[in-house]
Structure formats: C-alpha cells, structure tokens
Amino acid sequence: METNGWVEVICGCMFSGKTEELIRRVRRAVIAKQKVQIFKPRLDTRSGIETVATHDGLSLVAMPVESVEDMAKKIDPATQVVAIDEAQFFDPSIVDLCAALARRGIRVIVAGLDLDFRGKSFEPVPSLMAQAELVDKLQAVCVVCGAPASFTQRLVNGQPAPYDSPVIVVGAQELYQARCRQCHEVPRER
C-alpha cells in the first residue's frame, strides 16, 4: 500500500532557526528508522560543502547539488524523507519536484527564506508555501530593538544595503541581521 506524502515548509528570516528545525525533524525521522536524504545548494558553502548547519553549530551531512534537476537524479528510490535546506537558492522547478515527490509518498521538508533582504517575496519559497500541507513561519529577535523579527537586513560596510544590490549574496552574521518591520531599512526603495 502506498503511503501519503506531503510537503512541509519552514520559513522565516535569517537567524530564526529554520535549519535548526529542519535538523530536528530529520533527526526524528532517523529515530523512526526512515530513509532520509538531505540536500543543499552547492553555492552555500558557509558550513562546509557537505553539511547543513545552524548558526549555533548543530549539523548534519547533506548532499550539495547544482540544480533541481541534479537533486532529482540523486534521490534514492528507497528514500522516505527528503529534506532541502536554503530552498531560496533553487529555481522555480523545485515546486514541481516537491509536489512530485509528495505524490510518490515522500515526506518533503523544505527550509528557506520567504523574503529577500529588501522585504520582497523570495521565490520559490512563497510558491512552495502555497503548495505545502504544512507551513511554519519562524521569527528571530530584532537586533536593534528586541521585538520579534521577520525581516533580514543585509549590511554593506555596516550600513543597510541599497535596494538595487544583488538579491543573492551568501553570508552570515558578517552581512546580515534579523530585524523587525520598524527597524528594517532599505535605502532608495522604489
């Protein structure tokens, strides 16, 4: 008998605990003796090439992939749970892959930023959220005022990055901060 699959999305700003929650769910699946595969975009080398890691140092081995197509080719037919970290770095075809995996009876756990540094939708995560059975939006703590933070502030030389800066710049505390709506700044926003 085929089991039902589904898609879970863990989203929020940087430093909200997305990868930590993904790791927690993966560890529970491993305890349940389920076959799990973890994928990450190859361009994210912050925690090493074959590792997903939290900013606090929790980590699991992951398979780096160049693209959604590359990931699809590497999914073992016996896999029951597919976990994908940093989904915002993949192209929109990840939405169709996740749906196809769920239809095959696979539990898909996806973590990623839902907003870019400008506070705009960061595809493909919002599209994944719309298609998912379960969505958890996590918050961090605003480093300016201590309020709940849902925005990622990018910094350039310690100052808020201008609106026309590149959307994808891989980094951590040296480039980004968690901020609330009131403390989030985007100079020259259009």
**Rounded CA separation 3/100 (Å):** 14
**91 CB-contact burial (10 Å; exposed 0-12 / middle 13-18 / buried 19+):** exposed
The reply to whether 40 falls in a domain is yes
Does 79 map to a domain? yes
pLDDT digits (tens, 9 = 90+) for 30-79: 999 999 999 999 887 666 667 776 767 777 889 999 999 999 999 999 99
The token pair that represents 24 in the structure block? 């927690």
| CA 12 to chain CA centroid, nearest Å | 8
In the annotation, is 189 catalytic? no
Task: Using pLDDT thresholds of 50, 70 and 90, give the confidence band for residue 118.
Answer: very high
Residue 84 domain-assigned? Answer: yes
Residue 1: per-residue pLDDT = 39
Find the domain containing 44 and state its range: 6-138
Catalytic residue among 66, 86, 123, 185: 86
Query: What would the pLDDT profile of 81-99 be if each residue is shown by its tens digit?
Result: 999 999 999 999 999 999 9
Residue 82 domain flag: yes
Mean of pLDDT over the chain? 92
Q: What pLDDT, on the 0 to 100 scale, is given for residue 189?
A: 60
Q: What is the CATH number of the domain that holds 77?
A: 3.40.50.300
pTM, 2 dp: 0.91
